[in-house]
Copies of this chain bind each other. A is one copy, B any other.
Amino acid sequence: MSKLTTVQLKPPYLILIGEEDDASYAKTGLGIIQWQPERVAGQLRFPGCTLDLGVPDMTVREAAQAHVGSLVIGVAPVGGTIPDRWWDVIEEAALAGLDIVCGLHVKLSDNPVLAAAAEKSGARLVDVRESPPNLPVGNGIKRRGRRLLTVGTDCVVGKKYSALALDRAMREAGMKSTFRATGQTGIMIAGEGIPIDAVVADFISGAAELLSPANDDDHWDVIEGQGSLLHPGYSGVSLGLLHGSQPDAFVVCHDAARKNVSGWEHYSVPSVKQCIELHEVLGRRTNPEIRCVGISVNTSMLPEQERAPCLADLSADTGLPCIDPLTGGCAPIVNYIRAQFSE
């Protein structure tokens, strides 16, 4: 029987930018630099590329000499695929022994030349959208350590960003904390994780258990949520992740300006209060002590003068700290957690 494991990446990274000029398509590379700069050795840009991640330029040869672990595809080009003219350098990297890490809808091993190059050098071809093999069924047994799950009133409401920001703020406040990634970008940032929406349905909660193993009593896993319990497409992922994570605490992420479910406009977004109640009722099953510790709101689409009142209203309504992590930081929620779990 093979060992149970999450997807694990080999640092440091050389980030492939190619000739991408538009920062909005380089979110993966930028995200890694923003959250884990110490994992990045350099960037690989083609001649004429104007985008700069602010790390040293490196060729594949230089990267190999510097013992770089992985070439990470750091952009999501239009079409979601790898441009033809990139394959040469990717193959060169694989031949030089660098793992190739990709989060696009492309199966690296479908390229026979690349597969042969990797075979020859022993490099791995890592598609971070692919589930690791041999996942367990969730056992529901309580694990040591604390867990916080970011959940949402919808998809794309800042669950990954909030988890990363909370993890960083908690560590800066002197707490023990680890970010746990459940999606491809999060995995590339953390260097480890499980793409929870890609696992076979029977193993969702088991994957969540594997992702967040037993730890010190005062250690927090800050787990990136996925989907939403009331999402017509993805609710199963969210409930399995909730049950497997056994969170002591959860933070509801919400877009203040969004009325309807993104891409499912015939559904309205549930209220923050309904979302809190549902997570309490369902989460209690695997952790009777579960409680909401805050609300993380994206207020960027509101008119400037409505942003602070929106947060104040939500806070008054729920009795919980309410932040926009992009503008106000996470301190109110971190302080609330310290007070709630001070024993």
Residues of A at the B interface (CB closer than 8 Å) are 131, 137-141, 196-202, 204-206, 229-230, 232-241, 243, 264, 266-267, 278, 281-282, 285-286
Contacts and interface: CB of A to CB of B under 8 A. Distances in A.
A206 B235 contact: no
A119 to B, nearest CB: 22
A128 to B, nearest CB: 15
Contact of A237 (B139, B236, B286): B236
20 contacts: A137-B233, A137-B234, A138-B232, A138-B233, A140-B233, A140-B267, A196-B201, A197-B200, A198-B200, A200-B200, A200-B201, A201-B204, A201-B240, A202-B233, A205-B232, A230-B285, A232-B243, A235-B282, A236-B238, A278-B282
A196 B205 CA distance: 16
Contacts of A198: 200-202
Contacts of A281: 278, 281
Contacts of A229: 239, 282
A230 B284 CA distance: 10
Contacts of A278: 281-282
Contacts of A140: 232-233, 264, 266-267
B202 A234 contact: yes
Contacts of A237: 201-202, 204, 236, 240
Contacts of A235: 205, 239-240, 243, 282, 285
A168 B234 CA distance: 32
Contacts of A285: 230, 232, 235, 267
Contacts of A264: 139-140
Given A199-B201, A230-B285, A235-B240, 17 more contacts: A137-B234, A138-B232, A138-B234, A140-B232, A140-B233, A140-B264, A197-B200, A197-B201, A197-B202, A201-B204, A201-B237, A204-B236, A205-B233, A205-B235, A229-B239, A230-B282, A235-B282
Of A230, A237, A240, A243, the most chain B CB neighbours within 10 A belong to A240
Nearest to A286: B232
Contacts of A266: 140-141
Which 10 A/B pairs are nearest by Cβ-Cβ distance? A236-B240, A140-B232, A204-B236, A236-B236, A138-B233, A197-B202, A239-B239, A137-B233, A201-B237, A230-B285
Nearest to A199: B201
Contacts of A141: 266
A230 B138 CA distance: 12
A240 B139 CA distance: 20
Nearest to A246: B232
Nearest to A230: B285
A249 B197 CA distance: 28
Contact of A139 (B138, B206, B233): B233
Contacts of A199: 200-201
A268 to B, nearest CB: 10
